[in-house]
Amino acid sequence: MTRRSRRALPATLTALVLLAASVLVAVCAIQLAVGEVPLLPYDSLAGLLHDTTWSARETAVAGGVVTAIGLVLFLAAVVPGRARTAALDQHTAVSVRGLRNALRSAAVVDGVESAAVKVRRRRVRAVVRTRRAVVDGLGDAVRAAVEHRVGEFALARPPQVVVRVKALRSTP
């Protein structure tokens, strides 16, 4: 059960462009039906398109732009997005955001000022900051706490835990 991102941005942009084109065509059609001058002059536009040949530079550029946009939209639809859940078993999952927040709170052990956690498929990377001058053993304590919390989640594929300790510089 792996949920992927929804690709909301490409879908929204495509919908807005198609909506704008549809509104423009509808307004021009209504203006022609009523007998007013259309927003886009149909006769001059049709004449311009009729005079343009297939071998013209403008045609090649327009075709390249449309092809590039189509390729980008196709790749956005086909390439899988970042997983938003981590599998617990075949039928249940936990959100990656919730897992990250739980692991970040577990990484704040005695002596840790702040923690940042990144959760990937195979690895959990924790960067903790401390004001201690001697950081011996702090990384091991954080790793043990995070691994214990990962064990509590009982993930289908437990990730490797990597901890990095950064000592904050104290101002004299």
Question: Residue range 57-61: average pLDDT?
Answer: 92
Establish if 13 belongs to a structural domain. Answer: yes
We report the CATH number of the domain holding residue 143 as 3.30.70.1350
Beta-strand runs (E) in the chain: 85-87, 93-95, 114-119, 123-130, 160-167
CB 106 within 8 Å of CB 150: no
Query: Quick one: pLDDT at residue 3?
Result: 60
DSSP 3-state of 82: coil
10 Å CB burial of residue 83 (0-12, 13-18, 19+) is middle
In a domain, 3, yes or no: no
Q: What is the pLDDT of residues 64-102, one digit of tens each?
A: 999 999 998 888 888 877 777 787 877 788 888 899 999
What are the residues facing 114 on neighbouring strands? 129
Q: Confirm whether 92 is domain-assigned.
A: yes
- Count: domains in the chain: 2
Position 96: which residue type?
A: V
Render pLDDT for 117-140 as a digit per residue (tens, 0 to 9): 999 888 999 999 998 888 888 999
Answer yes or no: do 91 and 62 share one domain.
Answer: no
Residue (of 118, 165, 106) closest to 138 by Cα position: 165
Provide the pLDDT for residue 27.
93
